[in-house]
A = this chain, B = another copy of it.
Amino acid sequence: MTEQTPLRPTRQRVAVAEALASVDDFRSAQEIHDLLGRRGEPVGLATVYRTLQRLADAGEVDLLRTEDGEAVYRRCSTTHHHHLVCRGCGATVEVEGPAVERWTRSIAGEHGFTDVSHTLEIFGTCRSCSASPATD
């Protein structure tokens, strides 16, 4: 349906994908851009943005917004899931909750809503962060 032109695996796109694969938490476009620069395979900022958007649209990476609205991306499993994210270090755990899925669908149905989607993120302080006060 929303069929795209098959995208080309350019050096830049590969680099962005690898950068994402090499970290385990959510990163912003700027962070990826910096990471790549430091790593010696510079990719233009605009290209990083474009690539991340494509990946997100294609469902290959998850996108979420930090509390101050910044977009951050993460390479995740492809099945539907949610995230448990540490506010301190960003450590992320993918979680699933069939009951929640059912609940959102049914409550939306009760109110006559169709074409339903949802966002659900859980934030907290992970074990190691509650041990060490904060390396700020």
Which A residues have a C-beta under 8 Å from some C-beta of B? 65, 69-71, 84, 86-87, 93, 95, 97, 99-100, 103-104, 107-108, 111-127, 130
Contact = CB atoms under 8 A, between A and B. Distances in A.
A114 B100 contact: no
B119 A120 contact: yes
Given A100-B100, A107-B95, A122 B112 contact: no
Q: Copy number of this protein in the oligomer? A: 2
Contact of A126 (B112, B117, B119, B126): B112
B119 A124 contact: no
Nearest to A118: B122
A41 B124 CA distance: 42
Contacts of A118: 120-123
Contacts of A114: 124-125, 130
A103 B100 contact: yes
Contacts of A127: 112-113
A115 B120 CA distance: 17
Given A69-B65, A108-B84, A126 B99 contact: no
